[in-house]
């Protein structure tokens, strides 16, 4: 499991209580999973809805605290499998090499009775994968550090992934580069490295990811501010819908 911060928090992410949780039993069950409804990067908080329907605002870096954890590079089982979850091949994968190991897919349907999940891969192929059937786990969640459309931002500090395939000048470097341009349609970014070299890097194109977050990257860099609910406050989905706030965007 990984702590949830502004670099990896996103709507629909499944989460559990983290090491800094101090809001009592608002999630009803210390082992229960909730779902992030909205992220507030400037406040370094996220609104979470728990299985009970209760909602509360949790810290994802505010005051150095992290109330939430999420699965990362972990086997996918019934407890975390849900439609839309992004996955990569797991340790028990034995279905051939239709895609490179780094290819990312997403769960389309879950069959809890059979302990399987149908996955659609980046190339359009589908596999029924085991999520506990026979004690086997074909899937795991992607590593938390990758850069994708949900966290890409101008001037974000990045490093090449271990599977970097665009030349030795950058491969293995621990000197960060900065994102200079973002193309969300193409799922790619232009990165300028300390050497002055520039590369167009994939952030999800064809299911590939070329760059990861630098360890010193500040949470929420490059993301716009938005109004967040009161920290730790408990509400319900119905109450939240009745209190919708509209923010004007400057022309």
What is the rounded average pLDDT of the residues 169-173? Answer: 62
Among 181, 142, 183, 180, which Cα is nearest to 163's?
Answer: 142
Q: In 112-220, at which residue ranges do the beta strands (DSSP E only) sit?
A: 116-121, 126-130, 139-140, 157-160, 177-183, 188-192, 198-202, 211-213
Beta bridge partners of 235: 55
Instruction: Please report the pLDDT score of residue 131 as a whole number.
Output: 94
| Beta carbons within 8 Å of 13's beta carbon, 6+ residues apart | 4, 35, 36, 70
Instruction: Please report the pLDDT score of residue 119 as a whole number.
Output: 92
What is the rounded average pLDDT of the residues 90-100? Answer: 73
Whole-structure pTM value: 0.48
Comparing 112 with 52, the larger pLDDT belongs to: 112
Does residue 28 register a pLDDT over 60? no
Alpha-carbon torsion angle 45, 66, 241, 33, nearest 10: 160
List pLDDT tens digits, range 231-251: 555 555 555 444 433 333 333
Instruction: Please report the pLDDT score of residue 3 as a whole number.
Output: 81
Instruction: Please report the pLDDT score of residue 46 as a whole number.
Output: 94
List pLDDT tens digits, range 118-139: 998 877 888 899 999 999 999 9
């Amino acid at each position: 499991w990984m702590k949830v911060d502004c670099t990896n928090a996103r709507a629909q992410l499944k989460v559990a209580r983290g090491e800094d949780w101090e809001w009592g039993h608002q999630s009803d069950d210390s082992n229960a999973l909730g779902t992030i409804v909205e992220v507030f990067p400037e406040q370094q908080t996220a609104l979470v809805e728990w299985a009970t329907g209760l909602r509360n605002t949790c810290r994802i870096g505010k005051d150095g605290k992290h109330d939430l954890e999420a699965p990362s590079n972990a086997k996918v089982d019934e407890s975390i499998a849900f439609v839309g979850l992004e996955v990569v091949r797991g340790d028990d994968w034995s279905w051939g090499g239709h895609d490179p190991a780094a290819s990312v897919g997403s769960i389309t349907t879950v069959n809890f009775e059979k302990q399987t999940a149908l996955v659609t891969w980046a190339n359009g192929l589908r596999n029924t994968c085991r999520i506990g059937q026979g004690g086997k786990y074909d899937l795991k969640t992607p590593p938390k550090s990758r850069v994708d459309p949900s966290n890409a931002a101008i001037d974000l500090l990045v490093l090449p992934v271990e599977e970097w395939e665009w030349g030795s000048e950058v491969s293995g470097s621990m000197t960060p580069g900065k994102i200079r341009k973002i193309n969300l349609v193409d799922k790619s970014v232009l990165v300028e490295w300390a050497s002055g070299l520039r590369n167009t890097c994939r952030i999800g194109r064809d299911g590939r990811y070329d760059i990861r977050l630098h360890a010193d990257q500040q949470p929420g860099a490059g993301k716009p501010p938005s109004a967040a609910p009161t920290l730790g406050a408990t509400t319900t989905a119905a109450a939240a819908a009745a209190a919708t706030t509209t923010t004007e965007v400057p022309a």
